Structure 1
């Protein structure tokens, strides 16, 4: 046991060193690019995000919790960290809300990292919800760089597509790809607010939600066993008991999630955890995990529990249906394993070349494979993308699944148009009989095609002139 413990400790230390090295490389790039401008940025105070001028009057009964505690004022210029380049957007503490407490900040760290000493690295801090050019082929699309935050961005992307294609005009039967090319900046902001609200509301069991914003004031004085990040300590929390109020509030402050320097992905992740609550999250997780992120090659990556929280509103650690009470040998498990309990609006498909070769790939259950809308978040060799169809009836009419079109978007800046795929499940002409194992299939066919076949077994996929990728 001592040897195992030492091995675990050495691995944790190595991951931490790799994380620090990754941050140092980023700082080297920043210093080289910005030179003396860095000092100027550090000394400037954070800018304030005021509500939109046309909506500044606000609305009564929005569900915001007024602050009964005035957080202590700190010298933001002295405490500002170099990673605040560009500067973090901050709202005025006068807009209300409740300041984060020391206990809540510590519990937030523990449910994310498993301790109070880890903080988000540069890749996470610079991540936000950045749209592509309005009124373009990809005007509906978010740009997502490689890294741990990408999974969150692409799940939000799937919900943006859901809003733009299906829920924006719920009584319309005509869902066209053309409508995704006619999205202006205001439409992008409304879609993002709606997508974030849907996810937060589901996490709050469709009864409540909480939004966290960062202010210019420091709300807590951390203890010695807590590592300061100069961001979490300035959170102001806003609670709501009506979904429409959540959406309106997010839209009023959408720049705090979609603009460079907003730390928008982290801010949304905090809101998600607060909406679910720490207590519920601990109940969701089983004995396989106790926190939502883990270190991989110097970067923090979301566990399956975090993905399921974003997709279903519950942080189930596994992708199978229901709860598993028995092991493969039929014996009763010491602690039941928690899977997915209900269908979600957006689905999930999974394929890993490495796990196929090691015969360890988990089987995604029908709850995730068959969502309410024909939109799937795809994990392909640990890279996230979205597969979707504008046909509402694709999942309700089996005849539609004989020959149909799907659209594929991977979030990368290099993708300039949405990829059109034609899927044929009727002719079975993809030579399945000529190969003998999943590993053999993986060597012969692109991973995206293998992923699609986890949903439509034996399907032939036509890329319609696009060179297959992934």
Structure 2
């Protein structure tokens, strides 16, 4: 009895040992049911694209890798093609993830041990546009649940390139004049910085996948849900984490790396389950949500990237819910801000007013949530938010993250024009002009501001 109590006290997510035991026994039953399908795939070796052979264990189809009901072995053409997972050697001296931590990681993400991330997540990685191009600073992003993570990281990349490097007088030209090495250095510094902040400036944990598969398995995982194969590398200095990430950057940015998933796992483990429990509230008990066939990030994930805390709401401080419960908002001014407009499909109908902690960040960079589509607004003038005179007429640059965008959009914002003059100017194309969600998001920060797209078509 004493042992059971102590285990529960050590589990920050409040996991019940008896419940875990019951799930393990249930998985044993599934093991027998699907033994036939596993034996067929395990009896032959797989073949790499280069013609070399890999064993079934290396592909993740070895003993102990179970398939949930409805996910029996079917011909490969039934799946969306996903590049083979990049792995690292276990000789790097990482700490293999324990079954208990693997279970808590799964539960903190999904609230259960059944769900897995789909092909859009598995394909997502951190890949820049071509060096020395108009979008050399920008990540290539596709639609899907991982988009919010990639674009939130994008905001921090811009912060690093414009305001965090030793070189002074950073400009728009400097963002486009990046070599591949500078891109990689910026990505490593950004990822390490986000993880370090999430770890309360005390530690950062980086997750990679080992080629070795554990001899025992307690999670009901397909070969693409590789939590059990993680190796954890813990760093007590930010610089050491940055160097380690840079040395193994291919595990985040290479095709087939599953880089965004690895970063998400690293982020959660750096934050620790204990801090997560304190960050979250009754409105959000886990970080991911299934909606319309996709796995989407909840606001807590976005806030964890922007602020280091997994605050589930966007208002300042704390508020009382309808039932009198305490809801947790943002507690400190963020480096990269956040604006939103429209209905967020990841949060259902709930759309709270963004507080000043996110609207007025330390640096003039904003992640914009436009009805669940994410983009970036930023200004190259660091003084924009520290000198009110700068906010009369100023320039913003807009990156949508969409493949169709080939260069930045240049917007001019006028916050002091009379609103009736702005209405006449903006209605010159005809009455009933539909305002762009970007403009509406800007006006949540600068009320009644006029937006000049400088000849470009407004983004919808």
8 Å CA contact retained: 2:103, 2:219: no
> Which of 163, 167, 189 is residue 194 of structure 1 equivalent to?
189
> Which of 238, 244, 250 is residue 245 of structure 2 equivalent to?
250
Structure-1 separation of matches of 2:90 and 2:420: 60
- Whether 1:344 and 2:337 are equivalent positions in the alignment is no
Structure-2 separation of matches of 1:236 and 1:455: 43
Aligned-pair distance for 1:226? 5.5
Structure-2 separation of matches of 1:221 and 1:169: 49
Structure-2 separation of matches of 1:190 and 1:445: 39
> Which of 157, 161, 164 is residue 160 of structure 1 equivalent to?
157
> Which of 389, 400, 407 is residue 379 of structure 2 equivalent to?
389
> Which of 266, 270, 293 is residue 261 of structure 2 equivalent to?
266
8 Å CA contact retained: 1:378, 1:387: yes
Structure-2 separation of matches of 1:256 and 1:224: 24
Structure-2 separation of matches of 1:217 and 1:188: 31
Aligned-pair distance for 1:219? 3.4
Structure-2 separation of matches of 1:215 and 1:247: 20
Structure-1 separation of matches of 2:105 and 2:299: 18
Q: Taking structure 1 as reference, are residues 134 and 270 closer, same or farther at Cα in structure 2, changes over 3 Å only?
A: same
Partner SS for 2:264: helix
Aligned-pair distance for 1:381? 1.3
- TM-score, normalised with respect to structure 2: 0.80
- Whether 1:462 and 2:435 are equivalent positions in the alignment is no
Structure-1 separation of matches of 2:338 and 2:364: 11
Q: Taking structure 1 as reference, are residues 118 and 220 closer, same or farther at Cα in structure 2, changes over 3 Å only?
A: farther
Structure 1 stretch 310-319 or stretch 81-90: which is displaced more? 81-90
Task: Could you tell me which runs of 5 or more consecutive residues in structure 2 were left unpaired when the two chains were aligned.
Answer: 1-45, 66-75, 425-430
Q: For residues 10-55 of structure 1, what are the alpha-carbon distances to aligned partners after superposition, in whole Å with 9 as ceiling and x for unaligned?
A: xxxxxxxxxxxxxxxxxxxxxxxxxxxx965599567xxxxxxxxx
- Whether 1:241 and 2:236 are equivalent positions in the alignment is yes
Aligned-pair distance for 1:446? 0.8
Q: For residues 100-134 of structure 1, what are the alpha-carbon distances to aligned partners after superposition, in whole Å with 9 as ceiling and x for unaligned?
A: 11111111111111110111110000000010010
Q: RMSD in angstroms over aligned alpha carbons?
A: 2.6
Question: What residue in structure 2 maps to residue 372 of structure 1?
Answer: 362
> 1:294-305 counterparts in 2 under 5 A?
294-305=289-300
Question: What residue in structure 2 maps to residue 86 of structure 1?
Answer: 83
Counting matched residue pairs gives: 392
Aligned-pair distance for 1:181? 1.1
Task: Could you tell me which runs of 5 or more consecutive residues in structure 1 were left unpaired when the two chains were aligned.
Answer: 1-37, 47-72, 435-440
8 Å CA contact retained: 1:220, 1:234: no
Structure-1 separation of matches of 2:224 and 2:102: 11
Partner SS for 2:396: strand
Structure-2 separation of matches of 1:225 and 1:75: 16
- Whether 1:291 and 2:273 are equivalent positions in the alignment is no
Structure-1 separation of matches of 2:432 and 2:221: 46
Structure-2 separation of matches of 1:459 and 1:144: 29
8 Å CA contact retained: 2:344, 2:372: no
8 Å CA contact retained: 2:127, 2:254: yes
8 Å CA contact retained: 2:379, 2:396: yes
Structure-2 separation of matches of 1:339 and 1:442: 37
Aligned-pair distance for 1:444? 2.7
- TM-score, normalised with respect to structure 1: 0.78
8 Å CA contact retained: 1:428, 1:460: no
Q: Taking structure 1 as reference, are residues 416 and 396 closer, same or farther at Cα in structure 2, changes over 3 Å only?
A: same
Q: Taking structure 1 as reference, are residues 219 and 453 closer, same or farther at Cα in structure 2, changes over 3 Å only?
A: same
Aligned-pair distance for 1:217? 0.8
